Chains A and B, each alone.
Chain A
């Protein structure tokens, strides 16, 4: 697009421009009944127009909110655009939230309209209807199982489209008129924060904020209509909204919706995206699957794999980063590329990837280096819901695992005196919905947003995040204590899925561990250790021994750093149940609610700080369908070795 021509400044206008410019090019793909279906930009624009007219016929007015709940389905993305076209605000919700959690958001956002994927979601909404009197219309996409529902609020997507076409025919100028009324400063979307601390808050973002973030990111990585992206992350997450919606419309690439949550890997192989975004957890699961399968492979394959992953570890990341590498290594790497890396990328569905990002949590150095070493251009970014997930990006050629990159184009970053990261730029939120107090608290007098993260700039002007600013505390000895930092180090071991450490204001650090059933289970099977599920496996002495080794390795790393040497883990236990968002122990984005966990398992924490070697616990758990049950277990507690600085040096 020539420079002098103004870029459209709202999402509905962008969609119309794309329909004009990229008319027949694919905009959206979805796998249905085993076959990829494609909609061109022209078709998408038409669908959105019909949907918007349908909503208008139902009485959707400027400023109304539309709740969107479901897996990544094309029609749900279109609903977003349709609501925006009418000057309304789409509010995507996490599709795996239970009905009770939805009440709060429906109430807070005052949603009168909802569009949902299927019967499962409809059932939840019907359950909460008596508590959400404002909710007037529920539109569902998949009619399966819906034949006998009598509720007057319900309407099938097809019927809505029918009404939309009739309305459009009767008012042919309506849609264009509504789109023209939109302003860049209108609120384009409301995303709810995950609620790591307290109740979720509705973050209001304008069209301008997301469009400028998407433009910055697209220019940064030269994204264009030829790119392709897999949309599989929750639509309620800011990352998905930036990558699968804002950048989709700004750069004009193709998004593909997988057939179901379980088929993402197969679908990714079939689509071969060029642009990929995933939280570290997903990269980790992928690698674990590969490693487990490699261990079951034949001896020759295992030897080849080991040899060439060693080569890649030595020089792969340097070759990708265009740094000087010895000629012999270069040759070996080229051979490895043919024999191992290429086929491996293909299995992972990463053959065509130009740029891959990870964010949302710290990524393990081994994990990060592994992907880069096999030739996947994996980078990190930093951002939050309040900043459109757009603050720092790692430029090609300056990638490192322990920083999150340099400030993105158009973004100003400043470090406050207490180490908190402050940011300013067009991507900042307009406000927290109906929470002027929270808005005022989070934005300072100079217009900087307090991220709540503690960090600093390293020698290369790259931002490093160490912890949440409020989590950074002190041990009773006065030494600095950064819990996330320790937890992340623990979680970098494939056998450890979650870790919760305690130590603020105490004389030493202790930890709860959640083992990874896939990884430890496989380990146990190969050693012929029988087990009957998580709780049993977690209690095995052999598993304790395995985890103790991991903890001691972390202690050795901590001992090397002067400021953190006091934070070595003295005692640990393996929790008898997996931490679960259904039990409120994790947020929906799977971050640990440390305070809640400490309170819930206070007996275990006390035991950790006593001399006891065992503790009996009973815990209520919630099943997916909302019923409850009880787990009982005797949890063992073990000691880990603490190293002094001299010992570390001795070990080399």
Chain B
């Protein structure tokens, strides 16, 4: 994608991360960096450690070795809520929304960290709490408009088709107004049209809000189309890190995907 975005300095640096669950090595000394405003894809075959990598970045897993440097501050162990507070938002491979709540309320939960009024004031819904809610509602409405889900504003999420639930999931992540957005297979299980819509939204988020995006995706067409740089993992190791075109020609990557005889 030839776009006039200004890709800035390194905002997120992953430094020789190793993660093991008992004897299973999920990640072995993986290092890469993410620059501001770029779209960075992580690809690899099943079980390569892609989702583990995202979980390390936003502090769900704590690696045995290595560190994550976010905006110049080095973290040995990041907690998920700290990550969220610092502006790292994510969506999940298996949608993790509140199925019984409406689209509007689900996205509103993404504003939780930004709410200042106390529990009591919110319960009474008066004065500052009311004003605050109106502000948050405005932000949520802007996201609803952005993602073109006006028709489902008041629909419980559980009743929506899968593709739309994915969109709501993205909406909730956007509600934090993140500077880094981690997307775990945003297009899994979608049909061609839904994938196109989602691509458009990801590019628009990146362009409109300047959000840095780290995404895991299996659809090579999508990855090659929208990402600026690609990291390739296989069996927990980094086997490639380059622009989409270079990755496409990388023998190690081709072998990892097609398999080689040993």
Contact = CB atoms under 8 A, between A and B. Distances in A.
Contact of B150 (A147, A148, A260, A625): A260
A33 B138 contact: yes
A34 B150 contact: yes
Helix, strand, loop or mixed for chain B's interface? helix
B141 A34 contact: yes
A260 B207 contact: no
Nearest to A266: B151
A144 B3 contact: no
Interface string B196-217: 1000000010011000000000
Helix, strand, loop or mixed for chain A's interface? loop
Contacts of A34: 137, 141, 144, 150, 153
A262 interface: yes
A148 B207 contact: yes
Contact of A148 (B4, B154, B192, B196): B4
Given A148-B3, A623-B192, A263 B150 contact: yes
A259 B150 contact: yes
Contacts of B208: 144-145, 147
B142 interface: yes
Contacts of B144: 33-34
A474 to B, nearest CB: 45
A148 to B, nearest CB: 5
Given A33-B145, A625-B196, A145 B150 contact: no
Nearest to A264: B151
Interface size bucket, B side? 20 to 34
Nearest to B142: A33
Contacts of B204: 144-145
Interface in B107-156: 137-138, 141-142, 144-146, 148, 150-151, 153-154
A470 to B, nearest CB: 38
B141 A33 contact: yes
Contacts of B148: 260
B222 to A, nearest CB: 15
B255 interface: no
Nearest to A32: B145
B32 to A, nearest CB: 27
Interface string A28-57: 000011110000000000000000000000
A34 B137 CA distance: 10
Q: State the 3 A-B residue pairs at the shortest beta-carbon distance, nearest first.
A: A262-B151, A33-B141, A263-B151
Interface of A: 32-35, 144-145, 147-148, 259-260, 262-263, 266, 623-625
Given A33-B138, A33-B145, 11 more contacts: A32-B145, A34-B144, A144-B146, A144-B204, A145-B207, A148-B3, A148-B4, A260-B150, A260-B151, A266-B154, A623-B192
21 contacts: A33-B141, A33-B144, A34-B141, A34-B150, A34-B153, A35-B141, A144-B146, A144-B204, A145-B204, A145-B207, A147-B207, A147-B208, A148-B4, A259-B151, A260-B150, A262-B150, A262-B151, A263-B150, A263-B151, A623-B193, A624-B193
